[in-house]
Amino acid sequence: MGDFSWVLVGLIDAISLAVIFLFGCIGETINEKAGNLNLGIPGVMCIGAAGGAVGALVYMKTIYKVLPIDIDAISFSFGSLVSYILLMLFVIIFVTIFAGLSGLLFSFLTTSLKANQNVTGLALTTFGAGFADFIMGLIRTTENKPLFTIASKIIRFHLPFNEAALGQAGMLLLGNGLFVYLCFALAIVVFLVLNKTRIGLSVRAIGENPATADAAGINTDKYKYFATMIGCAIAGFGGFFYTMSHVGGTWENSATLQGLGWMVLALVIFTVWNPLLAIVGSVIFGFLMSLPYVIPGIGFVEMELIKILPYAVTIIVLIFTSILGKKNVLPPGSLGVNYFREER
Amino acid sequence: MKKTVEKEISVRFENITKTFGSVIANEDITFDVYKGEILSLLGENGSGKTTLMNMLSGIYFPDEGQIYVNGEKVTIASPMDAFRLKIGMVHQHFKLIDVFSCLENIVLGIKDKEKADMRKAAVAVNEICNKYGFELNLAKKVYELSVSEKQTLEIIKVLYRDAEILILDEPTAVLTPLEIRNLFTVLKNMRKDGKTIIIITHKLNEVMEISDRVAILRKGQYIDTVKTSETNENKLTEMMVGKKTTLNIDRTEPVNVQDRLLVEHLNLRNMDGTKVVNDVSFIARSGEILGIAGIAGSGQRELLEAIAGLKPGYRGNVIFNRPKKNLPVSFFHKTYAQVVNMAKNGAFHYEDGTPVSFDGMSPKKIKDLVNSEKVLFNEDEVYNLRNLNPRKIRELGVRLSFVPEDRLGMGLVGNMDLVDNMMLRSYRKGKGSKLNRKKPEALADEIVKELDVVTPNIHTPVRKLSGGNVQKVLVGREIASSPKVLMAAYPVRGLDINSSYLIYNLLNKEKEEGSAVIFVGEDLDVLLALCDRILVMCQGQVTGIVDARTTTKEEVGLLMTSTEKEEEVKENA
């Protein structure tokens, strides 16, 4: 038996990546379940990242000055708790507004103006990336940079366990920031809403066959708007988590995040539009992504080969779902098609 | 006795007008529907029946006019408004979500929390089923249902929403005779319950059987409403078509009949492995129209697609036979190189029987010799189409003109204009890389003129034409290349009577010019009047080939359902 401790290290890294994927994947799944093939997700995630950064900065410049948190202290005072909660609220509100508005833009173009979804999505990706780079360049001045690092530490804050006692495996389960748990919980909630509620039934009906949903008395436009906005808001948290947690409050440019965004689109297919499977899928993707950096003594070629794995796995899943052709693992019936009631 | 009771008006249309772009679908329509009656809305395809009913069910919104329900002015802006007024519509193309269960489809879109509760809904739906005698497994997914089950589900869906006014759009089009009878029983029960039923149809015998009154539309205009008991099929036809129809199919005796296409033991499975064409053998002859009858989905479509090379992987043979023996060789179907090559293999002879050899001749001499028609074939040309791709098959002169529900799907490209659609058949011809549009333009012009295609000009995208005109363009193009075998599947589906007869006459003309015509039709009367022989299919099998001149509708109808009956017996036993 060789030494497999790197697996655990890989998994810790994988969880962090998985959260980015999972937020994006849940968001895109909601989009696609309502029939909107939103290729703008990478851009939406970038916009979410910008929103989160703005939110964190506003917090640092206002609340933090009054109620600072000493993250290294073991005890956690009431003041710090209030401050912590306020930071969470700030970023949640800002990410939701930024990313949600990008969803509104997408819906307005595709649902109201009936613009082609693919084109709109690609445009949104380009726009979102540029927008994020612009905002980040604007707010990440030399004096602000340390503030992001502090905010990132608070966001990654977890209850002060005895790391030695828990061990690496224990830390893997318990030593994560709040958003990690929020994300996994959200996947379950979204699954339940989509599959067990009337709202979910209506959303899925629209994605399968909007004419039928319309004839059944469902306001298809309203649902499409809301599904896209909520989906995009959720996906935005993926981008936020990337900058403010995964890379510790830094920002080079939007390229890496965009790349992760494209993988999200693959992940949605990989997990056959099921948020529960998305939990597993995102961890697998995250693990495969972190593998090249944690396997000891690996060469350059092997490293690049392993990096391909997530995409290869997606293609294999596509092949299998297509061959099996079972109706419940196929994409929503009218995915990517705009609906116009009086069309003949 | 009922006549003495003052009839209550359920729905009133007043001066309803609806246009789509420049097309007037409904023009100034005014009439009443009474409570507790079955009203047939009769009209040809494109007469605006569905459009009118879609306005009642909230899919479309009228441009002008007013709808009254139970005496009150109403605005129906969406299907939700229609539900509130207890109006429910069963659409011709079912509005069901395939991947949902029956129950999920039923509660879909219901706002009331009580009613949308799945468990309570299951109980209530079962009550409805018992009341009207429906049988349906509510847990089944829609894609597992048969067509008639889907329709049952649609009706239950409407009933579960407490609809008092039911609209059924061509409900019998996809049903077998037995299923139609069951449906009519259900409708009569509903009438007993005091529900108002509007049934859209163009089948006159059904109109006579089921309805109390008939409202007739023609080309978007309201003609009249008559009591069913006071009219007959002829009068209705006259009102529907507008003039005394002298539409006869002029069937000529087949001349110069030769075996052209021999289909031997053709077997075909579809994607999921079920047999759709089961050991089919027949011969299509030149100068003859072979009709194919059968309930929709009995394998007719797949059979033709297999012959046309669109379904590779079938078993059996399709032998294409072109009699050539002792006929002169020409360059019409062959290139110069092919002719020289064939001569080397001894395929030709002179009129006196001596074999042809082009050895030592100059190309010009060879051409002159061939053009002088002194070089004759030794043998008939026989090909097995099974191993050929669609392009090769077309080059041999086998044409498939195909009209599935989406007529723009396989034959024409909707976004391209008439000229470009003509070129889909000829773009390989000509030299150089630049497209030559002259010939296709001429052809498009000719088709528009000869077949009375209604189009602003030949550069209009075909998707903007009406169904009938699209069909004319398609059939016109296929015929223009004078095919040896012309296969037409449902070529008149969705066409009005006049256009239909135009298509029939075109097929007849092809027959007279020596093509072997294969015609898949729905209307048995037409099949009997148009074809020379009729092949009847049932569940992928040939249940009989009958002489169209001597057979009866009953005989064909029986053959259409023959295997079905055997199976029913087996199930019962």
Q: With contact defined as beta carbons under 8 Å apart, do B521 and B291 qualify?
A: yes
In angstroms, the separation between the Cα of residue B470 and the nearest Cα of chain A is: 14
Residue B564's SS3 state is: helix
Considering only CA atoms, which of A191, A272, A196 is closest in space to residue A234? A191
Give, in order, the Cα–Cα distances in Å from B344 to each of A45, B359, B367, B374, B434: 71, 8, 15, 17, 36
pLDDT tens for residues B431-483?
A: 667 777 788 888 888 888 887 787 888 888 887 777 677 878 888 888 887 78
Q: Looking at beta carbons, which residues of chain B come within 8 Å of A205? A: 97, 100, 108-109
pLDDT tens for residues B42-52?
A: 887 668 888 89
Q: Along chain A (344 residues), what's the average pLDDT of each consecutive run of 10 residues?
A: 75 92 97 95 97 95 87 72 91 97 96 94 96 95 92 85 76 86 96 93 94 90 96 97 93 92 90 93 91 84 86 81 71 87 65
Mean of the pLDDT values across residues B179-206? 88
N- to C-terminal Cα separation, chain A = 67
Q: Is the pLDDT score of B429 beyond 90?
A: no
Share of chain B above pLDDT 70, in %: 90
Judge whether A205 is closer than 8 Å to chain B, CB to CB: yes
Which of A202, A215, A330 has the CB atom closest to B91's CB atom? A215
Q: Is the pLDDT score of B567 beyond 60?
A: no
Q: Looking at beta carbons, which residues of chain B come within 8 Å of A323? A: none
Find the residue in B nearest to A327 (Cα): B99
pLDDT tens for residues B491-530?
A: 877 666 677 788 888 888 888 888 889 998 877 788 888 9
Give, in order, the Cα–Cα distances in Å from A143 to each of A149, B228, B378: 12, 88, 96
- Least trusted range by pLDDT, from A163-177, B82-96, B122-136: A163-177
> So what's the pLDDT on residue B369?
78
Judge whether A203 is closer than 8 Å to chain B, CB to CB: no
- Residue from A201, A204, A223 to probe the interface with B (highest B Cβ count within 10 Å): A201
In angstroms, the separation between the Cα of residue B409 and the nearest Cα of chain A is: 15
pLDDT tens for residues B147-177?
A: 888 989 999 999 999 999 999 988 887 777 7
| Crossing angle for the helix pair A220-241 and A255-270, to the nearest 10 degrees | 130
Q: Is the pLDDT score of B415 beyond 60?
A: yes
Neighbours of B88 (CB within 10 A): 25
Considering only CA atoms, which of B560, B471, B478, B558 is closest in space to residue B518? B478
DSSP string covering B188-214, please?
A: HHHHHTT-EEEEEE--HHHHHHH-SEE
What's the CA gap between A159 and A161, in Å, rounded?
A: 6
Judge whether B83 is closer than 8 Å to chain A, CB to CB: yes
Considering only CA atoms, which of A155, A156, A133 is closest in space to residue A47? A133
Q: Is the pLDDT score of B573 beyond 60?
A: no
Q: Is B323 exposed, middle or buried (0-12, 13-18, 19+ CB in 10 A)?
A: middle
List alpha helices for B242-372, DSSP H. 300-307, 336-344, 363-371
Inter-chain contacts counted by CB atoms under 8 A, chains A and B: 76
Which of B60, B79, B141 has the CB atom closest to A217's CB atom? B79
Judge whether B415 is closer than 8 Å to chain A, CB to CB: no
More confident residue, B431 or B19: B19
Q: With contact defined as beta carbons under 8 Å apart, do A114 and A63 qualify?
A: no
Judge whether A341 is closer than 8 Å to chain B, CB to CB: yes
Share of chain B above pLDDT 90, in %: 26
CATH of domain A5-343: 1.10.3470
Provide the token pair at B27. Answer: 């023009």
Judge whether B98 is closer than 8 Å to chain A, CB to CB: yes
What's the CA gap between B573 and B43, in Å, rounded?
A: 44
CB contact under 8 A, B98 and A213: no
> So what's the pLDDT on residue B125?
93
> So what's the pLDDT on residue B373?
77
For every residue of A167-235, which 3-state class applies, written as one string?
HHHHHHHHCCCHHHHHHHHHHHHHHHHHHHCHHHHHHHHHHHCHHHHHHCCCCHHHHHHHHHHHHHHHH
Which of A205, A328, A342 has the CB atom closest to B108's CB atom? A205
What's the CA gap between A321 and B373, in Å, rounded?
A: 60
Sign of torsion over alpha carbons B231, B237, B238, B241: positive
> So what's the pLDDT on residue B552?
83
Domain boundaries, chain A: 5-343
Provide the token pair at B181. Answer: 């009878």
Sign of torsion over alpha carbons A142, A143, A145, A146: positive
> So what's the pLDDT on residue A96?
97
- Residue from A212, A221, A334 to probe the interface with B (highest B Cβ count within 10 Å): A212
Tokens 């003309």 map to which residue?
B509
Q: Give the pLDDT band (50/70/90) at residue B403.
A: low
- The interface pTM score, or ipTM, of the predicted complex is 0.83
Q: Is the pLDDT score of B565 beyond 60?
A: no
pTM score above 0.90: no
Sorted by where each starts, the structural domains of chain B and their CATH numbers stand as 9-241 (3.40.50.300), 244-323+384-399+482-573 (3.40.50.300), 331-379 (no CATH), 410-481 (no CATH)
Instruction: Residue window 173-202, chain B: list those with CB within 8 Å of chain A.
Output: none
